[in-house]
Structure 1
Amino acid sequence: MASYKKISTGWQFRISYKKRDGTYGTKSGNNFRTKKAAEVAAHNLELELGKGLKLEAGKEPFVTYLKRWYRLYKESSLRYKTKASYNYSIDRATEFFGLTPIEDITEDDYQAFLVDFGTGKEVFKKPHAKETAAKIHTHLKSAFKKAVKQGIIIHNPAEDAKVVAGVAKKSEELKYLSLKDQELLRAVLTYKMRPNNPSRYICLLSLDTGLRISEVLGLTWDCVDFKNNMITVNKTWDYQNTKDFDKTKNPSSMRTIKVNALTLQRIVELKKYQEESNRQFKDLVFLTYQLLPPTDNAVNKTLKTYLKRAGIKTMITHHGLRHSHVSLLIHKGFDIQWISKRVGHENASTTINIYMHILDEMQQINDEKLELLAAEEFDNAKTMQNVLKLTDFVDSGKKIDPPQTPLNQRFKQV
């Protein structure tokens, strides 16, 4: 049976339960606005106890549980960069909660953690951006959710928490090449290409596909379908840390896309060169003399060289080639859902949010096109009036029946 008590902060319930060792313990819940709410919570807890709720496990420090949860349920499926992000979250939780038992962390405690991380006024010595705080919140909330499901705690203290930011997110300028500049770059990249400079081939392929740098570097020859002019992205190359293959950014990044046949004809040159010079490693498409893919710095230096050679003033990095490709597709009227799948976004909303500026430009262009179309349609209507000999009927304003022909019986006055 549960007992109830009115305290200064609301209603409290307390129940007793039998532990695995045969002894008895108690569990309480506090801060309920009404006695009814406390009764509902107590009843739910008693039901869970009947199913084997592991209340003793709630004595374990939250960070200990967090590390085990990460190791068992997350680590094996994550990319290197994502692993680093989770470890950052674990370190921050350790810094704030210390050895606090998981069952003792209340909603107020967790919200205080988010506030302090965002503002940096107490435990954390500097404020943080909302994006960073939101990522940590996502990780910890997921861990608490698992603890609830496992019967270790009653409710998730992070469920209704609000992320707090003390640093404004830096606005990133979306840099991309105009359609004319893309033509100029393609011209200089393809002039006297030499397979001993794979960075030029990377820039050309990226301009025509919008692949991320890690996706391009991770391409192997079995991913290139020369017969059907297709490329499959099923892995990446970690050029910063492991110098080896890695998972794609997300499941949606695994895709097969159509590629310009002329671009693939250039890529064939690399395959022939590798076979003739016996320079092959892990079946990679792009290799340097060191038998490793070029670094992102090497690709960016090459790109900068050829942008200058083409007389292009807009200086972009490799990622700007991805933006340029999407810009081209949007301006040519390709469906946004199709574009989203082509570049490996999780959904079309991501594409829309990133390229909103370009979409707004296209909105203005389409509005102008609509006005021209309307004017053209009225001109066509006037021409049709002449063909149907409706000039007097329209211009005189008199109610004169037009000459009845099989065609103009279906026309009304314009």
Structure 2
Amino acid sequence: MLQTFTKESLFHEYYAQWIKVYKEGAIRPVTLNKYLVTLEWLKKLSPNLKLGDITRITYQQLINDYAETHERQTTMDFHHQIKCAILDAVDEGLIARDPTRKAIIKGKTPRAKKPKYLNQFELHTMLNHLKLTPQISWDWFILLVAKTGMRFSEALALTPKDFDFPHQTLSINKTWDYKHGTGFLPTKNRSSVRKIQMDWQTVIQFSGLVKGLPEDKPIFVKESQKVYNATINDILERHCKAAGVPVISVHGLRHTHASLLLFAGVSIASVARRLGHASMTTTQKTYLHIIQELENKDIDIVMRSLSELS
């Protein structure tokens, strides 16, 4: 039964019910968990804050308190996750006016960023250190992610029937719930359902590897096996160190794949489709630094071409 709220009600209690009503069943469990984490922070930072006491000043103080232990982008996410609930409370007359207007988003100094991707030479060097045995292994997993740009959970969910060897394609239509062990899950969004073209070498390698395996069972995950992202990251780290290249994560292989395609001149639209991004905007935001670098390169080409006109 839903609780009735007044201006004297605690904000974190209102937010808890707001999550239950508006978010449960409407968003993916991993996204829902982020809202629940935000709820715990509200309880910690402002356990006695009442709806009627939320003003621009009290809201800004809440954001400032959170920002003391979080980087600016994380603080921005925190702000966005509670803002919608606050605006609903404003509409219901529980808060006088929008306290989030003109909020200043702060944050502690970001940590030194680790390398997110490898260049072509570094990737080639690292892949040469993989031990590609006749049986499926995590080294094969690393190779396939590097060559396709799949998400970690998408690669875990691959079954033999997802491979279309005659047409050299790989169907991405599900993910694997490695965090809670519930098996197959839908993809991140509808755009994530896609077919990825594979090179002939990968086709030959995997056609032999998956031969005789159950058609609808994951090829990388054994029955009732618990898989940890950190485990594969550790394996990849060892290979990176052995190859003398920057240490990246498995997700970094996805960034590497996209970066190499962009530098090779593949269009943003094609890269977005291959990665399963919901829109090209996502691709542009994620790889802005590379796109800017390519634009500078294009300007040099344009200027050189124009200078030859005389």
* TM-score bucket (shorter structure): 0.7 to 0.9
Tell me, in whole angstroms, the C-alpha distance in 2 between the residues paired with 1:305 and 1:61. 50
Q: Secondary structure at the match of 1:211?
A: coil
Aligned to 1:200: 139
TM-score normalised over the length of structure 1? 0.62
Aligned to 2:123: 182
Aligned to 2:18: 69
1:133 aligns with 2:75: yes
Query: What is the CA deviation profile of residues 346-377 of structure 1, one whole-angstrom value per residue up to 9, with x for unaligned ones?
Result: 443443344344334434544554466567x5
Q: 1:137 to 1:176 in 2, by over 3 A?
A: closer
| Residues 76-155 of structure 1: pairs in structure 2 closer than 5 A | 76-119=25-68, 127-150=69-92, 152-153=94-95, 155=97
Q: For residue 334 of structure 1, report the CA deviation from its aligned partner.
A: 0.9
**For this pair of structures, how many residues does the alignment match?**
307
Aligned to 1:239: 178
Tell me, in whole angstroms, the C-alpha distance in 2 between the residues paired with 1:306 and 1:100. 50
Aligned to 1:314: 246
1:212 aligns with 2:148: no
Q: Does the 8 A contact of 2:132 with 2:139 survive in 1?
A: no
Tell me, in whole angstroms, the C-alpha distance in 2 between the residues paired with 1:69 and 1:256. 38
TM-score normalised over the length of structure 2? 0.80
Higher strand share: 1
Gaps of 5+ in 1: 1-54, 120-126, 379-413
Aligned to 2:271: 339
- Of residues 63-72 and 102-111 in structure 1, the stretch that sits farther from structure 2 once superposed is 102-111
Tell me, in whole angstroms, the C-alpha distance in 2 between the residues paired with 1:176 and 1:82. 25
Q: 1:158 to 1:265 in 2, by over 3 A?
A: same
- Of residues 243-252 and 215-224 in structure 1, the stretch that sits farther from structure 2 once superposed is 243-252
Q: 1:116 to 1:203 in 2, by over 3 A?
A: closer
Tell me, in whole angstroms, the C-alpha distance in 2 between the residues paired with 1:313 and 1:112. 44
Gaps of 5+ in 2: none
Query: What is the CA deviation profile of residues 61-93 of structure 1, one whole-angstrom value per residue up to 9, with x for unaligned ones?
Result: 322221111112112234443333212211222
Equivalent in 185, 198, 219 of residue 259 of structure 1: 198
1:287 aligns with 2:228: no
Q: Does the 8 A contact of 1:236 with 1:247 survive in 2?
A: yes
Q: What is the CA RMSD across the aligned residues, in angstroms?
A: 3.4
Aligned to 2:105: 163
1:351 aligns with 2:283: yes
Aligned to 2:294: 362
Tell me, in whole angstroms, the C-alpha distance in 2 between the residues paired with 1:116 and 1:340. 37
Aligned to 1:299: 232
Q: Choose between structure 1 and 2 for higher RCO, CA contacts under 8 A separated by at least 6 residues.
A: 2
Query: What is the CA deviation profile of residues 132-164 of structure 1, one whole-angstrom value per residue up to 9, with x for unaligned ones?
Result: 222221111111223344565554332442223
Q: Secondary structure at the match of 2:213?
A: helix
Aligned to 1:384: none
Q: 1:147 to 1:358 in 2, by over 3 A?
A: same
Q: 1:83 to 1:163 in 2, by over 3 A?
A: same
Query: What is the CA deviation profile of residues 36-58 of structure 1, one whole-angstrom value per residue up to 9, with x for unaligned ones?
Result: xxxxxxxxxxxxxxxxxxx9744
Q: 1:360 to 1:312 in 2, by over 3 A?
A: farther
Task: Give the AA of the match of 2:109.
Answer: A
Tell me, in whole angstroms, the C-alpha distance in 1 between the residues paired with 2:261 and 2:226. 28
- Of residues 134-143 and 314-323 in structure 1, the stretch that sits farther from structure 2 once superposed is 314-323
Tell me, in whole angstroms, the C-alpha distance in 1 between the residues paired with 2:132 and 2:73. 45
Tell me, in whole angstroms, the C-alpha distance in 2 between the residues paired with 1:139 and 1:96. 15
Q: Secondary structure at the match of 2:246?
A: coil
Q: For residue 328 of structure 1, report the CA deviation from its aligned partner.
A: 1.3
